[in-house]
């Protein structure tokens, strides 16, 4: 790879109060090159992207695009100069169709030109086709599956033909097949000569895609080189990758105990769409049950039915008693805590306040004890105790959502895609914590995941949910044998 860098970042610094989120980062990306940016949760990756894009103002440093320093300019001017960003979270306009959303991103500067600009419609259609939204371009974003929403963000980012594309966690929450499709799209950006900066915790997929990797920790560079070199680096291994997730010893006793949760032919309809179709399931006391399924299979709907958040047909019993007619609050008080996929944190409240809310029903002493344990488990939450939840990094928010659910000291803990956005080292930590929790308490866990590398090692039993139906049930070892392809 030769030639002048397209994007050149020098001495980039960003402070939030006393915290130095980015501390003297330098990076170069040439046209037709993909640079991977990795690092543990909260290491400053998203902040680097926001600084390049002008969404946050750097305290020091230069951001040069083909030699022109853009640092300190507002985001719309930086976008106009030729930098596009794919945000981690989709922010579509819901009243507009997919095509209209893309058209808006295509607009030069003023909305009034929309009607006038010739070729906008055609270009928008071409982009929709390219990212794989051809068949759904006239639909509204709220009706799209998760992966298509991510596709729409890609489409918006490339609409104005940027010379540099910043992509923040494109693979989070995607299945293996979807990750492959997105990787192909990003390869396409490279082939067109764009410079790409890619952040993601899916280490394998990043390594397969990038030309070089830069690893950050606490706002600073800790390693740079080829993916191989960086993944072998001692510090990177220690602070980011961690070890392998160990399979836990099977608990024969658990399956023999009484069922804590029973679902009999539970169905849920959203309008005409069948989200759950006569789903039955048992979770025994002390068991760890994983429900594996792709996006849109119905996992979240199933959990929401249990938590009393969506109306359903069929029977749901908890500790032998029907949950019919109970409010979500009463179900939670009975000992079922759900850590939702969407996190549902109180963004304008501090980390500490969010945790206190989770433990409000506990007697003071056990609340304090539980809080201490969780802060020891996720030390970052202790450091960020007074920070507002919405300013936490993606992974820090996920840790807070899990910790808040655990603050309730539930009998039945429901974890919906807990691995979303977490660094490998944190997954290992979470895995050990769940195991410790199971050994020291009688907690029962129901986990929903499409990431089988996390779902299988812990599980006593696995269910496979596909298109609203339970297709398979069995021990994790047999899942790997019988259902492996497409999931592993
Ligand atoms: N507005 C803010 N106020 C205070 N602290 C902030 C603010 N924005 C970010 N931070 C902190 O800066 C640090 C870096 O955050 P950033 O979002 O860049 O991390 P990240 O590397 O993208 O992590 P993740 O992989 O979890 O998304 C975090 O500890 C975060 O809590
Ligand atoms: Mg981030």
- Going from the Cα of 422 to the center of ligand 2, the distance in angstroms, rounded, reads 10
Cα 194 to ligand 1 centre (Å)? 27
Give the rounded distance of the alpha carbon of 214 from its chain centre: 21
Best residue among 47, 53, 172, 378 to mutate for probing ligand 1's pocket (most ligand atoms within 8 Å of CB) is 47
**One-letter-per-residue 3-state SS of 102-168:** HHHHHCCCCCCHHHHCCCHHHHHHHHHHHHCCHHHCCCCHHHCCHHHHHHHHHHHHHCCCCCEEEEE
- pLDDT at site 332: 93
Q: What is the DSSP letter of 362?
A: S
Which residues sit with Cβ closer than 5 angstroms to ligand 2, an ion?
46, 393-394
Tell me how far the alpha carbon of residue 464 lies from the centroid of ligand 2, in angstroms: 30
* Type and span of the H or E element at 292: strand 288-292
In this prediction, residue 327 carries a pLDDT of 95
Taking phi over 0 as left and psi of -120 to 50 as alpha, with beta for the rest, 235 belongs to alpha
Give the helix, strand, coil percentages of the chain, each rounded to 5: 40, 25, 35
Looking at residue 309, its pLDDT comes to 94
> What are the chain's domains?
7-241 (3.40.50.300), 252-483 (3.40.50.300)
Q: Output the pLDDT for position 485.
A: 58
Ligand 1 contacts (CB < 6 A) are 16, 19, 21, 39, 41-47, 384, 387, 391-396, 421
Express each pLDDT in 439-465 by its tens digit. 888 899 999 998 788 888 889 999 999
Helix axes 364-377, 351-358, angle to 10 degrees: 130
Which residue among 21, 168, 198 has the greatest number of ligand 1 atoms within 8 angstroms of its CB, and so is best to mutate? 21
Identify the residue whose tokens are 């609050």: 329
Q: What is the pLDDT of residue 401?
A: 94
Alpha-carbon distance of 387 to 390, in angstroms, equals 9
Nearest to 299 by CA among 455, 88, 485: 455
Which pLDDT score is estimated for 60? Answer: 98
Q: Residue 180: which residues within 8 A CB-CB, separation 6 or more?
A: none
User: What's the pLDDT at 252?
Assistant: 58
The pLDDT score that the predictor gives to residue 145 is 81
Query: Would you state the pLDDT for residue 108?
Result: 64
Q: d(Cα 136, Cα 119) in Å, to the nearest integer?
A: 20
Distance from Cα 383 to the centre of ligand 1, integer Å: 12
Decide: residue 350, CB within 10 A, 0-12 exposed, 13-18 middle, 19+ buried.
middle
Strands 60-65 and 68-69 turn out to be antiparallel
Residue 457 CB burial class (10 angstroms; 0-12, 13-18, ≥19):
middle
The per-residue pLDDT for 435 is 86
Report the nearest atom of ligand 1 relative to the CA of 17: 4
For residue 421, the ligand closest to its alpha carbon is 1
Residue of 306, 302, 367, 350 whose CA lies nearest to 331: 306
Which residue numbers in the chain have pLDDT < 50?
none
Ligand 1 pocket test: which of 217, 393, 395 has the largest number of ligand atoms within 8 Å of its C-beta? Answer: 393
Say if residue 41 is exposed, middle or buried (CB neighbours under 10 Å; 0-12, 13-18, 19+).
buried
End-to-end Cα, the chain, rounded Å = 34
pTM for this prediction? 0.90
* Protein residue whose Cα sits closest to atom 19 of ligand 1: 42
Written as six digits, the tokens of 458 are 């812990």
112 in Cβ contact with 193 (< 8 Å): no
Minimal-distance CA residue to ligand 1 atom 4: 16
CA of 90 to the centre of ligand 2 (A): 14
Work out which ligand 1 atom sits closest to the CA atom of 45: 21
Pocket test for ligand 1, best of 396, 401, 425 (most atoms within 8 A of CB): 396
Parallel, antiparallel or unpaired: strands 461-466 and 469-474: antiparallel
Q: What pLDDT does residue 2 have?
A: 59
Residue found under tokens 């709907």: 301
Residue 482 is predicted with a pLDDT of: 82
Considering every ligand atom, which ligand is closest to the CA of 168? 2
Q: Hey, which residues does 96 pair with through a beta bridge?
A: none
Contacts of 108 (CB under 8 A, 6+ apart): 117
Could you give the strand order of the β-sheet that contains 195-199, starting from the edge strand earlier in sequence? 83-86, 164-168, 195-199, 33-38, 212-217, 220-225
Q: How many CA atoms, within 13 angstroms, populate the side-chain half-sphere of residue 389?
A: 20
Cβ atoms of 152 and 92 closer than 8 Å: yes
Centre of ligand 2 to C-alpha 469, Å, is 34
- What are the start-end ranges of the E strands in 169-219? 195-199, 212-217
Residue nearest to atom 17 of ligand 1 (CA): 393
Distance 87 CA to ligand 2 centre (A): 9
Alpha carbon of residue 328 to chain centroid: 25
Alpha-carbon gap, residue 76 to 178, rounded angstroms: 30
Closest-lying ligand 1 atom to the alpha carbon of residue 384: 31
Q: Which of 15, 17, 42 to mutate to test the pocket of ligand 1 (most atoms within 8 A of CB)?
A: 42
């Amino acid at each position: 790879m030769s030639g002048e860098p397209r994007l050149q970042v020098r001495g980039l610094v960003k402070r939030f109060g006393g915290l130095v989120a980015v501390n003297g980062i330098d990076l170069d990306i040439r046209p037709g090159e993909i640079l991977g940016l990795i690092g543990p949760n909260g290491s400053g990756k998203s902040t680097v992207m926001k600084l390049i894009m002008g969404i946050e103002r750097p305290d020091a440093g230069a951001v040069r695009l083909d030699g022109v320093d853009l640092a300190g300019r507002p985001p719309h001017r930086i976008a106009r100069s030729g930098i596009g960003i794919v945000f981690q979270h989709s922010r579509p306009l819901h009243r507009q169709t997919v095509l209209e959303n893309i058209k808006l991103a295509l607009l030069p500067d003023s909305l009034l030109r929309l009607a006038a600009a010739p070729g906008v419609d055609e270009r928008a259609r071409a982009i929709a086709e390219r990212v794989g939204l051809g068949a759904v371009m006239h639909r509204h974003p709220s009706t799209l599956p998760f992966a298509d929403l991510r596709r729409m963000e890609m489409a918006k980012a490339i609409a104005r033909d940027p010379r540099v594309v910043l992509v923040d966690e494109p693979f989070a929450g995607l299945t293996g097949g979807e990750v492959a499709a997105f990787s192909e799209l990003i390869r396409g950006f490279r082939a067109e000569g764009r410079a790409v900066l890619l952040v993601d915790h899916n280490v394998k997929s990043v390594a397969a895609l990038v030309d070089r990797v830069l690893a950050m920790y606490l706002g600073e560079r800790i390693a740079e080189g080829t993916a191989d070199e960086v993944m072998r680096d001692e510090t990177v291994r220690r602070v980011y990758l961690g070890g392998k997730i160990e399979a836990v010893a099977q608990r024969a006793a658990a399956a023999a105990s009484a069922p804590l949760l029973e679902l009999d032919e539970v169905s849920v309809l959203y309008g005409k769409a069948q989200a759950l179709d006569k789903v039955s399931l048992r979770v025994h006391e002390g068991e760890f049950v994983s429900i594996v399924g792709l996006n849109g299979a119905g996992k979240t709907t199933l959990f929401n039915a249990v938590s009393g958040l969506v109306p359903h047909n069929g029977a749901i019993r908890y500790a032998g008693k029907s949950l019919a007619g109970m409010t979500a609050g009463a179900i939670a008080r009975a000992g079922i805590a759900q850590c939702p996929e969407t996190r549902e944190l109180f963004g304008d409240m501090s980390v500490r306040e969010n945790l206190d809310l989770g433990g409000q029903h506990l007697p003071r002493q056990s609340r304090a004890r539980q809080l201490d344990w969780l802060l020891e488990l996720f030390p970052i939450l202790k450091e960020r105790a007074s920070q507002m939840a919405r300013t936490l990094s993606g992974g820090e928010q996920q840790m807070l959502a899990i910790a808040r659910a655990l603050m309730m000291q539930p009998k039945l803990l429901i974890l919906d895609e807990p691995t979303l956005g977490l660094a490998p080292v944190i997954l290992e930590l979470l895995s050990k914590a769940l195991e410790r929790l199971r050994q020291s308490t009688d907690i029962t866990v129901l986990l929903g995941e499409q990431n089988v590398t996390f779902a299988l090692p812990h599980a006593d039993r696995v269910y496979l949910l596909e298109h609203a139906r339970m297709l398979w049930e069995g021990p994790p070892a047999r899942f790997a044998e019988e259902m492996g392809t497409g999931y592993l």
